Structure 1
Amino acid sequence: MAGCGCSQGVRFDGVSRRYRQVLLAVIAINASMFLVEMTSGMMAQSMALKADALDFLGDSLTYALSLAVIGMSLRVRATAALVKGISLAIMAVVVLGASLWRVLVAAQPDEVVMSSIGLLAFVANVASVLLLLRYRDGDSNVRSVWLCSRNDAIGNLGVIGAGLLVGLTGTRWPDLAVAAILAGLFLTSAVGIIRQARTERREAATDARVADRRPVAAE
């Protein structure tokens, strides 16, 4: 991959001091934004902000997992990515369920807080995307970090737009709609991560079988 010192056709596996530093910085950004958005979401009664806050929390935990398995075997890294994909799918279901609940029991969210915190989250995610840009074509463990950050930045634009629409329409529906869209975005990313991780696990299993069949060299 261009920019990471890898030979052409070889997926970057994260074994780089610079990448570890970038990942630590991205983890710190996401953990900080989880606290900011969850607090603001509760104050503003915004489901979209709470959904985005949960995404920041999930990213912090899964990025820490990505950091922990760097340098391990392809099977281990792919398994870690598989866990991340499944957790992202579970988060999508939780957000959808909470959004449906809010349809029945909901107050109109504070559009000013929604838009301002959404803008702050967008800046944080764009910073993460720019840090990770050169590593976007790595293995499933590395690529999952890039995909999550990229999708989060897109989702933040939705939160900002929902805040504006809540103010214009005087209803809670834009907030709930964006929360549902974010859930769909989580699910789409989860499917992509799981597919690549399963492919890499099969590759690792095939390589292991080939290695077992190789004759032992005579001493």
Structure 2
Amino acid sequence: MAAGCCSGPSCSASAPPPREAGWRRALWIALAVNAGMFLAELAAGVAAGSASLQADAMDFLGDAANYAISLGVAGMALAWRARAALLKGLSLAALGLWVLGNTAWHALAGTLPAAPVMGAVGVLALAANAGVALMLYRWRGGDANMRSVWICSRNDAIGNLAVLLAAAGVFGTGTGWPDLAVASVMAALGLWGGRQIVGQALGELRAERAGRVGRPVPAAAE
């Protein structure tokens, strides 16, 4: 019996499994990084008049909230984790719609963002998101809740590269359209990622419901 070979504090009934403990640690680190970057990038985005920086800041806020939700349901039954993933997928799609609206407002206002600020903040955000994505890579193939965290981190890293391209485009053309184009792409990424997460979460909920309905009822004790 393999369980009998276990010894030490990690084997106590109250201690989480090693994989679960690592998952929680990674989420706490990711939560702190994303909350800090949301504040920094939102301030920079407003100061620079950049729709793509503001979009990326909202991404950081959404991810921080998602990590908090994931921490709350870690260790719970699959159905609860799937419900949390469903909520996160819907919130990600909602953020995508907000970004589209904000981008349209900047387009109508004819805003010209500050390219140097965009570039500097974009590099910092890319370093933060790349580090988080690498840290969470090992859980990319888990359930909908784990996969949603990986998808959000992956989308953020892609978005940061796009912000850097937007900064170069604004600097080179002297117009705001590269910033608007990147913000639109980031909105599409949010909608696509939200659809992926919602689809898998609904599939897990359907499978869990079907398993519960098809489960045989225990015979009454004689």
- Does the pair score TM above 0.5? yes
Q: Segments of 4+ in structure 1 off by > 2 A?
A: 213-219
Matches within 5 A, 1:130-149: 130-149=134-153
Q: Which whole-Å CA distance do the structure 1 matches of 2:40 and 2:220 have between them?
A: 60
> 1:218: which partner in 2?
221
C-alpha deviation, 1:75, in angstroms: 1.1
> 1:48: which partner in 2?
52
> 1:119: which partner in 2?
123
Matches within 5 A, 1:186-197: 186-197=190-201
TM-score where L is the length of structure 1: 0.91
Asked if the contact 1:111–1:164 (Cα under 8 Å) also holds between the matched residues in 2, the reply is: yes
Work out whether 1:106 is the aligned partner of 2:110: yes
Matches within 5 A, 1:32-181: 32-181=36-185
Asked if the contact 1:14–1:138 (Cα under 8 Å) also holds between the matched residues in 2, the reply is: no
Asked if the contact 1:69–1:76 (Cα under 8 Å) also holds between the matched residues in 2, the reply is: yes
SS of match in other structure, 1:16: helix
Count how many residue pairs are aligned between Structure 1 and Structure 2.
206
SS of match in other structure, 1:66: helix
Asked if the contact 2:96–2:187 (Cα under 8 Å) also holds between the matched residues in 1, the reply is: yes
Q: Deviations over 1:125-170 (max 9, x none)?
A: 0000111011110000001000110111011000001001100000
Q: Deviations over 1:62-83 (max 9, x none)?
A: 1110110011111111111001
**Structure 1: which 5+ runs fail to align?**
1-12
SS of match in other structure, 1:188: helix
Q: Which whole-Å CA distance do the structure 2 matches of 1:14 and 1:174 have between them?
A: 45
Asked if the contact 1:14–1:70 (Cα under 8 Å) also holds between the matched residues in 2, the reply is: no
Q: Which whole-Å CA distance do the structure 2 matches of 1:216 and 1:192 have between them?
A: 40
Asked if the contact 2:20–2:75 (Cα under 8 Å) also holds between the matched residues in 1, the reply is: no
Which structure is larger by alpha-carbon Rg, 1 or 2?
2
C-alpha deviation, 1:203, in angstroms: 1.0
**1:214 partner letter:** V
C-alpha deviation, 1:14, in angstroms: 9.9
**Structure 2: which 5+ runs fail to align?**
1-16
C-alpha deviation, 1:216, in angstroms: 2.6
Asked if the contact 1:14–1:20 (Cα under 8 Å) also holds between the matched residues in 2, the reply is: no
**1:143 partner letter:** R
SS of match in other structure, 2:221: coil
Work out whether 1:27 is the aligned partner of 2:53: no
User: Percent identical across equivalent pairs?
Assistant: 48
C-alpha deviation, 1:106, in angstroms: 3.1
